[in-house]
């Protein structure tokens, strides 16, 4: 019935049974189920890049949106993932590009390294501001004091656990926190 109306060959035809599923996945993947701030920023950024005909920016944002959609599909609930997962996809994209940039520089390809740096800058524009190292040090010192006052054993795992209780994972890189905790513990001993 639908095949006669399609402008393309029938082997690409979509059956009627799959149309609602496609519609549902599309609207959920774009944040139709619930308003998601970071996801909406990515969509607006993509739209602006497309209007400005900035193909590099549009391609970079599309790659992150694809990662987010893949995360949506892999989620156990079948719903759109929240802002922390979208932020994690952004940070993974930045990490991948930083690794690629290092390899380009080692391979004596400064042109590709420069292009990758532009992509990193685009992605960083969507990441919310991170805590400064001084603020991280203050929070770690506060955690250490609380643990000493309570008479708890001050070890790396305990300090990290207490630190993350009062801090969101989107506010700071876990690697930076780990380094700063190690430094603070080394000073304590």
**pLDDT, tens digit, for every residue of 44-101?**
999 999 999 999 999 999 999 999 999 888 888 878 888 888 888 898 999 999 999 9
End-of-domain residue from the set 124, 159, 176: 124
Any domain includes 41: yes
Any domain includes 20: yes
* pLDDT band (50, 70, 90) for residue 122: very high
The structure's pTM equals 0.63
Predicted pLDDT of residue 74? 87
- As a whole number, the mean pLDDT across the chain is 81
Shared domain for 146 and 172, answered yes or no, is yes
Shared domain for 19 and 96, answered yes or no, is yes
Shared domain for 86 and 179, answered yes or no, is no
Any domain includes 6: no
* DSSP string computed for 35-92: --HHHHHHHHHHHHHHHTT-HHHHHHHHHHHHHHHHHHHHSSS-SPP-HHHHHHHHHH
Overall domain count for the chain: 2
Shared domain for 21 and 51, answered yes or no, is yes
Predicted pLDDT of residue 9? 52
Any domain includes 76: yes
What CATH number is given to the structural domain containing 57? 1.10.1510.10
End-of-domain residue from the set 84, 102, 124: 124
End-of-domain residue from the set 96, 124, 152: 124
Any domain includes 55: yes
Shared domain for 35 and 99, answered yes or no, is yes
Predicted pLDDT of residue 175? 83
Q: Given a cut of 90, is residue 164 above it in pLDDT?
A: no
Q: What is the extent of the structural domain holding 59?
A: 14-124
Q: Given a cut of 70, is residue 165 above it in pLDDT?
A: yes
Predicted pLDDT of residue 1? 46
Q: Which residues, 6 or more positions from 78, have their beta carbon under 8 angstroms from its beta carbon?
A: 28
Q: Given a cut of 50, is residue 23 above it in pLDDT?
A: no
């Amino acid at each position: 019935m639908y095949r006669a109306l399609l402008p393309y060959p029938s082997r690409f035809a979509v059956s009627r049974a799959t149309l609602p599923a496609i519609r549902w996945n599309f609207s959920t993947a774009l944040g139709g189920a619930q308003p998601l701030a970071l996801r909406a920023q990515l969509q607006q950024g993509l739209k602006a890049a497309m209007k400005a005909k900035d193909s590099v920016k549009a391609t970079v944002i599309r790659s992150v949106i694809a990662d987010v959609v893949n995360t949506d599909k892999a989620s156990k609930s079948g719903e759109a993932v929240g802002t922390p997962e979208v932020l994690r996809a952004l940070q993974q994209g930045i990490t991948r590009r930083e690794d690629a940039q290092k390899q380009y520089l080692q391979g004596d390809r400064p042109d590709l390294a420069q292009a990758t740096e532009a992509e990193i800058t685009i992605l960083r524009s969507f990441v919310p501001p991170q805590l400064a190292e001084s603020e991280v040090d203050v929070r770690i010192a506060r955690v250490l004091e609380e643990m000493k006052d309570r008479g708890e054993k001050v070890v790396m795992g305990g300090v990290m656990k207490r630190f993350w209780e009062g801090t969101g994972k989107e506010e700071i890189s876990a690697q930076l926190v780990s380094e700063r905790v190690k430094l603070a513990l080394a000073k304590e001993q």
